[in-house]
């Protein structure tokens, strides 16, 4: 476990991001609170459509119309990112804040060699020679399991497979030892061996340099291996957050328990996966009260009447009128 500083590097309160349509403005992110300290890895998990990726993009204001951040505060090292100019955000991105996208083609320029792109990422923020920058880039490629890195630097993105391009994007994010990495499903396309190597490198970076990491994923096994804390999202809200061992060993929210029970890691070979009944609601069709209630095995009449408030319990909190009893999930 990291020796975290008490003051969060990133602190988000009441974040609300909507998407405008002819019939209204619908919230994809609906009042999210979270924080990440230096040297800490926070896993952000949930099904597709839970709002986790939109949350990540909102934090560095990469939300394009018809999307819009309409409420909340985003504090990074004491600086209000919602009030920051575009020029200031460009200075922060790639230097103090790095984003790893699910699609590496959002990061890589098809007409420049890998070496040109990676060295430029260094030279833009550091005073060194191009030769030194290329040497640093080669070391970064080796860290993510790319063989013959010096030769690879001369190649172009189209000469790499999808998984190799993703590794290049991850290596580029690690280059400048940023203060914060926001990673959106970055290892989904990678095999298990390479994924483990990258998770090790990310943990090492966090431990040795104090980089804070927000790791967005649907894979609870990755969160269990990598994260210090986990935030579980459903219908645009964080429904449970706390130390990863506490939350995954003894979940209090029925949705967290459902995710755990449906994880392949918890099913014996040959057995069917236990899926959560139903599907996550569309942002324009969320039910009244608790949005999870149509799928919840612990639903009560109060769940339709009002949205549950967050309840603190030691180092964790959850939002549920009828939480899973302590010990029942064991």
- Count of beta carbons in the 10 Å neighbourhood of residue 309: 9
What is the pLDDT averaged over residues 146-150?
95
What confidence score (pLDDT) does residue 80 get?
96
Q: What percentage of the chain carries pLDDT values higher than 70?
A: 96
* Mean pLDDT confidence for 38-43: 96
Q: What is the rounded average pLDDT of the residues 284-298?
A: 95
User: What's the CATH class of domain 8-96+179-319?
Assistant: alpha beta
For residue 299, the model assigns a pLDDT of 96
Q: What is the mean pLDDT of residues 150-179?
A: 93
Q: What is the pLDDT at residue 259?
A: 95
pLDDT score of 207: 92
> Is the confidence at residue 121, as pLDDT, over 50?
yes
Sign of CA dihedral 273, 274, 278, 279: negative
Q: What is the mean pLDDT of residues 163-173?
A: 92
Give dist(CA 132, CA 119) in Å, integer.
9
Instruction: Count Cβ atoms below 10 Å from residue 218 Cβ, excluding itself.
Output: 16
Higher-confidence residue: 155 or 90?
155
Phi first, then psi: give them for residue 52, nearest 5 degrees.
-70, -40
Average pLDDT over residues 141-153: 94
Quick one: average pLDDT of 87-107? 89
Residue 267 has pLDDT above 70, yes or no: no
Express as a percent the part of the chain with pLDDT over 90: 79
pTM for the full predicted model = 0.92
Contact 85, 99 (CB under 8 A): no
d(CA 253, CA 288) in angstroms, rounded, equals: 18
pLDDT tens by residue, 224-265: 999 999 999 999 999 999 999 999 999 999 999 999 998 866
pLDDT score of 119: 96
Among 81, 34, 76, 35, residue whose Cα is nearest residue 61: 81
What distance in Å separates the CA atoms of residue 330 and residue 323, rounded to the nearest whole number? Answer: 14
Angle at 285 between CA 280 and CA 290, to 5 degrees: 65
Q: Residue 2: is its pLDDT beyond 50?
A: no
For the chain, the structural domain boundaries read: 8-96+179-319, 106-177
Spatial distance between the Cα atoms of 254 and 46, rounded to a whole number of angstroms: 13
Paired tokens of 225? 């291996």
Is the confidence at residue 183, as pLDDT, over 60?
yes
Instruction: State the pLDDT at residue 269.
Output: 73
Print the SS3 string covering the chain.
Answer: CCCCCCCEEEEEEEEEEEEEECCEEEEEEEEEEEEEECCCEEEEECCCCCCHHHHHHHHCCCCCCCEEEEEEEEEECCEECCCCCHHHHHHHECCCEEEECCCHHHCCCCCCCHHHHHHHHHHCCCCCCHHHHHHHHHHHHHHCCCCCHHHHCCCCHHHCCHHHHHHHHHHHHHCCCCCEEEEECCCCCCCHHHHHHHHHHHHHHHHHHCCEEEEEECCHHHHHHHCCEEEEEECCEEEEEEEHHHHHHCCCCHHHHHHHHCCHHHCCCCCCCCCCCCCCCCCCCCCCCCCCHHHCCCCCCHHHHCCCCEEEECCEEEECCCCCCCCCCC
Sheet containing strand 67-76, edge to edge, reads 24-37, 8-21, 67-76, 79-80
């Amino acid at each position: 476990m990291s020796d975290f500083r008490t003051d969060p590097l990133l602190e988000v309160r009441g974040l609300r991001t909507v998407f405008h349509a002819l019939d209204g403005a619908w919230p994809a992110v609906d009042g999210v609170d979270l924080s990440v300290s230096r040297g800490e890895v926070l896993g952000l998990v949930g099904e597709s459509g839970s709002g986790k990726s939109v949350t990540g993009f909102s934090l560095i204001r990469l939300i394009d119309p018809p999307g819009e951040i309409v409420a909340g505060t985003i504090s990074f090292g004491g600086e209000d990112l919602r009030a920051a100019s575009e020029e200031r955000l460009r200075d922060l991105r790639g230097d103090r804040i790095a984003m790893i996208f699910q699609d590496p083609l959002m990061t890589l320029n098809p007409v420049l060699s890998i070496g040109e792109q990676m060295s430029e990422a260094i030279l833009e923020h550091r005073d060194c020679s191009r030769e030194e920058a290329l040497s640093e880039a080669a070391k970064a490629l080796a860290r993510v399991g790319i063989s013959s890195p010096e030769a690879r630097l001369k190649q172009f993105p189209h000469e790499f497979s999808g998984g190799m391009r993703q590794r290049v994007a991850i290596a580029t994010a690690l280059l400048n030892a940023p203060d914060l990495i926001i990673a959106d499903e970055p290892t989904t396309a990678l095999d298990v061996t390479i994924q483990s190597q990258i998770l090790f490198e990310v943990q090492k970076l966090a431990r040795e340099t104090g980089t804070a990491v927000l790791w967005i994923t649907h894979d609870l096994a990755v969160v269990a291996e990598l994260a210090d804390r986990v935030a579980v999202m459903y219908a645009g809200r964080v429904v449970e957050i706390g130390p990863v061992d506490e939350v995954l060993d003894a979940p209090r929210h029925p949705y967290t328990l459902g995710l755990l029970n449906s994880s392949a890691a918890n099913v014996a070979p040959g057995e069917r996966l236990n899926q959560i009944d139903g599907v996550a609601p569309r942002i324009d069709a969320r039910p009244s009260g608790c949005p999870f209630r149509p799928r919840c095995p612990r639903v009560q009449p109060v769940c339709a009447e009002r949205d549950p408030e967050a309840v603190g319990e030691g180092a964790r909190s959850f939002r549920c009128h009828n939480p899973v009893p302590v010990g029942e999930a064991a």
